[in-house]
């Protein structure tokens, strides 16, 4: 017997798949891209503190406009267009200008060399050998000169240029040029030694021997090296890590942040109104929401993994990752999402005469306030995962894995396992789980899952060991999101569905994720590993407090004294679900 396919829900499933497929190549990699562009974790945390606040303002506003003027489809489609265009324009954001590479010029006993040390010296040497082969580069060095150095320069380099030498003896900077054959690069530990030919020196346009005879003081100067080659500069220069004040003085920062704000507004509108449309189509079949939303997890997992592989493939021989492909992916897939969403049938069976008053009553219920606080707590933990988990993996990769040429593939696998091994099964089973344990118990389980997940993160050494941990994403996001969205739909007064979804989403992101991003950024900048440990311990404490408070309220009934709003008990919350409808295939 063939299952009955609800054709009315097909465009909704297509939207969830395409929207998540379109955002997956970009959203998880934005914090690491910001770090690559030169912004410190504090700057990243500050940006991701402000972005959810923007979303917090946008969600209720556009949710209200959608309910008040019945423009759900129009606002929904506009949000998708804005999201796709804003993400695509981020591709054109330039990075912070890198300074000239810092090197050491050594000259002693007839041997001259230029030393450069970094935490990924072996990777740099491998990249340069592949890129340059036997090429020779002409390089200029600006070195900090001390008096004893000028003695060596004058006696051994400028033997026949006494006038030039006398004029420069008090100069604190020594400028000279040389040539470097890229095959003559020696790797020792984290340092690279560029061997300098003794007869290839140039000072003030005159050829000089870069020769330091044995028996004289060791010549060791700190220099800035300019070989007039962008690739070498990219390989040797450390990415500048600028603070918030310095970032605000950069025009490219405001362009980057502005596009993030536009994309965040677009996503806020799409997510909140999209969920309201979905619940409107489902009607009384709230438990089937998870089966629609799992299509989003499918799209996210597939294209996050694909994006990671593509970025690694396009970044071979580069220190910095090339994200061009992911921005094109986002633009094209979001275009298909607009086409699919235009087929949605938007329904709103109830209209509220006073949306603000009806939604405002939710804050008169103690149990609803606890629900909102729970959303805030989950937002704190979610912020740390969204904004700093991939950055944490890159730190571990450099410490324990060396070159890290496959780090984006690992990050894509993390996203894929989060979806396929975590979110997808839990979205699929969310209706069954909520019917069995209820919303309150599900909330406690989510908090406990965050505690376990963060403590395991703090114990990581090899970044690839994170993959089994990501199965917990089913509890910490899949079950969480289904619980939050379905309960918000159940308790929403008739005619306020989009407004209520927007309000709950705003509390989760605008308060929880926002504050979690700021605090997480400050702690992460100090010690990434300890940050996850602190968040894990905090999650366990909140879990104990939540269980205790709910047990107390359970003994004292499930309604408030004023009787205005009823926050349903764990099993009563699904009272409107029909067992026969639950067995129907969506």
273 and 320 together in one domain: yes
pLDDT of residue 31: 85
Strand partners, 196: 112
pLDDT of residue 235: 74
In three-state form (DSSP H/G/I as H, E/B as E, the rest C), the secondary structure along 246-266 is HHHCCHHHHHHHHHHHHHHHH
Check if the beta carbon of residue 307 is closer than 8 Å to that of residue 404: no
Number of Cβ atoms within 10 Å of the Cβ of 1: 3
What are the two backbone dihedrals, phi and then psi, of residue 459, each rounded to the nearest 5 degrees? -95, 0
Reported as a single tens digit per residue, the pLDDT across 90-139 is 989 887 777 788 888 888 767 788 888 876 655 676 667 777 878 888 89
| Domain stop point among 236, 257, 292 | 236
User: Per the domain annotation, does 267 fall within a domain?
Assistant: yes
User: Per the domain annotation, does 48 fall within a domain?
Assistant: yes
Check if the beta carbon of residue 368 is closer than 8 Å to that of residue 492: no
195 and 247 together in one domain: no
69 and 206 together in one domain: no
| Domain stop point among 204, 236, 268 | 236
| Domain stop point among 236, 258, 291 | 236
Check if the beta carbon of residue 497 is closer than 8 Å to that of residue 489: yes
The CA-to-CA distance between both ends of the chain, in Å, stands at 15
Number of Cβ atoms within 10 Å of the Cβ of 465: 12
108 and 85 together in one domain: no
547 and 533 together in one domain: yes
**CA-based nearest residue to 212, from 157, 160, 162:** 157
How many independent structural domains does the chain possess?
A: 2
User: Per the domain annotation, does 583 fall within a domain?
Assistant: no
Q: Max CA-CA distance within the chain?
A: 101
> CA–CA separation, 569 vs 88, rounded Å?
45
pLDDT of residue 248: 79
Alpha helices in 315-348 (DSSP H): 324-341
546 and 419 together in one domain: yes
Paired sense of beta strands 185-188 and 111-117, if any = unpaired
> CA–CA separation, 228 vs 231, rounded Å?
9
Contacts of 220 (CB under 8 A, 6+ apart): 104, 105, 106
User: Per the domain annotation, does 178 fall within a domain?
Assistant: yes
Cα-trace Rg, the chain? 30
pLDDT of residue 577: 33
253 and 219 together in one domain: no
Reported as a single tens digit per residue, the pLDDT across 152-193 is 788 777 776 666 666 666 778 888 888 888 887 887 777 888
Residues of the chain whose pLDDT is less than 70?
1-6, 109, 119-123, 125-127, 160-169, 214-217, 238-244, 284, 286-290, 317-319, 346-365, 401-405, 491-502, 557-586
> CA–CA separation, 7 vs 315, rounded Å?
42
Check if the beta carbon of residue 52 is closer than 8 Å to that of residue 242: no
Check if the beta carbon of residue 79 is closer than 8 Å to that of residue 334: no
67 and 146 together in one domain: no
pLDDT of residue 335: 92
User: Per the domain annotation, does 4 fall within a domain?
Assistant: no
Reported as a single tens digit per residue, the pLDDT across 506-562 is 788 878 888 898 899 889 888 899 999 999 999 999 999 999 988 888 777 544 433
User: Per the domain annotation, does 509 fall within a domain?
Assistant: yes
User: Per the domain annotation, does 383 fall within a domain?
Assistant: yes
Please report the beta strands in 441-580, taking only residues with DSSP state E, as ranges in sequence order.
Answer: none
pLDDT of residue 160: 62
Residue 498's CATH number = 1.20.1250.20
35 and 150 together in one domain: no
> In this structure, what token pair is assigned to residue 486?
């379905």
pLDDT of residue 583: 31
Sheet of strand 206-208: strand arrangement = 185-188, 191-196, 111-117, 102-108, 219-226, 136-144, 173-181, 201-203, 206-208
In three-state form (DSSP H/G/I as H, E/B as E, the rest C), the secondary structure along 350-380 is CCCCCHHHHHHHHHHCHHHHHHHHHHHHHHH
136 and 267 together in one domain: no
Question: What is the SS3 assignment for 172?
Answer: coil
565 and 514 together in one domain: yes
Number of Cβ atoms within 10 Å of the Cβ of 406: 16
For residue 41, the enclosing domain spans 10-96+242-575
pLDDT of residue 241: 64
User: Per the domain annotation, does 450 fall within a domain?
Assistant: yes
Distances (CA, A) of 412 to 4, 303, 468: 35, 8, 14
Residue 559: DSSP 8-state: B
64 and 89 together in one domain: yes
Question: What is the SS3 assignment for 185?
Answer: strand
């Amino acid at each position: 017997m063939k299952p009955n396919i609800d054709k009315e829900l097909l465009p909704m499933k297509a939207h969830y798949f395409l929207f998540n497929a379109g955002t997956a190549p970009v959203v998880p990699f934005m914090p690491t891209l910001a770090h690559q562009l030169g912004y410190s974790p504090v700057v990243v945390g500050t940006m991701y503190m402000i972005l959810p606040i923007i979303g917090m303002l946008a969600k209720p506003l556009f949710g209200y406009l959608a309910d008040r003027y019945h423009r759900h489809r129009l606002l929904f489609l506009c949000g998708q267009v804005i999201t796709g265009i804003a993400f695509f324009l981020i591709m054109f954001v330039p990075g912070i200008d890198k300074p000239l590479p810092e090197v050491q010029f050594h000259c002693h006993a007839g041997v001259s060399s230029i030393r450069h040390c970094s935490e990924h010296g072996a990777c740099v040497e491998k990249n340069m050998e592949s890129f340059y082969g036997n090429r020779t580069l002409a390089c200029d060095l600006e070195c900090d000169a001390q008096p004893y150095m000028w003695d060596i320069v004058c006696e051994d380099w400028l033997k026949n240029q006494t006038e030039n030498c006398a004029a420069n003896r008090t100069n604190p900077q020594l400028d000279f040029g040389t040539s470097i054959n890229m095959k003559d690069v020696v790797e020792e530990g984290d340092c690279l030694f560029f061997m300098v030919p003794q007869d290839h020196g140039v000072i003030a346009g005159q050829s000089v021997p870069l020769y330091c005879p044995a028996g004289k003081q060791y010549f060791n100067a700190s220099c800035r090296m300019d070989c007039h080659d962008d690739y070498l500069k990219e390989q040797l220069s450390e990415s500048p890590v600028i603070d918030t004040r310095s970032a605000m003085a950069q025009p490219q920062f405001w362009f980057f942040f502005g596009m993030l704000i536009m994309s965040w507004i677009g996503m806020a509108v799409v997510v909140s109104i999209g969920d309201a449309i979905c619940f409107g189509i489902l009607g009384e079949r709230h438990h089937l929401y998870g089966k629609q939303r799992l299509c989003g997890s499918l799209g996210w997992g597939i294209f996050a993994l694909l994006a990671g592989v593509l970025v690694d493939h396009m970044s071979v021989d580069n220190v910095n990752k090339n994200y061009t492909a992911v921005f094109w992916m986002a633009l094209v897939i979001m275009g298909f999402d607009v086409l699919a969403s235009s087929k949605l049938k938007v329904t709103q069976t109830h209209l509220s005469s006073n949306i603000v008053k009806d939604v405002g009553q939710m804050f008169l219920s103690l149990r609803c306030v606890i629900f909102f606080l729970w959303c805030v707590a989950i937002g704190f933990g979610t912020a740390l995962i969204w904004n700093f988990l991939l950055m944490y993996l890159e730190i571990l990769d450099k410490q324990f894995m060396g070159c890290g040429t496959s780090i984006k593939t690992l990050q894509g696998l993390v996203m894929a396992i989060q979806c396929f091994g975590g979110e997808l099964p839990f979205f699929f089973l969310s209706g069954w789980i909520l019917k069995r344990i209820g919303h309150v118990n599900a909330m406690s389980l989510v908090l406990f899952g965050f505690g376990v997940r963060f403590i395991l993160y703090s114990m990581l050494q090899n970044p690839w060991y994170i993959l089994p941990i990501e199965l917990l994403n089913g509890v910490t996001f899949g079950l969480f999101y289904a619980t939050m969205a379905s309960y918000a739909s159940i308790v929403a007064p008739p005619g306020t569905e989009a407004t209520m979804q927007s309000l709950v989403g705003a509390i989760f992101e605008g308060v929880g994720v926002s504050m979690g991003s700021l605090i997480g950024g400050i702690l992460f900048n100090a010690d990434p590993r300890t940050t996850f440990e602190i968040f894990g311990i905090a999650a366990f404490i909140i879990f104990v407090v939540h269980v205790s408070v709910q047990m107390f309220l359970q003994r004292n009934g499930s309604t408030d004294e004023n009787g205005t709003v009823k926050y349903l008990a764990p099993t009563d919350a699904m009272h409107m679900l029909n067992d026969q409808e639950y067995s129907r295939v969506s």
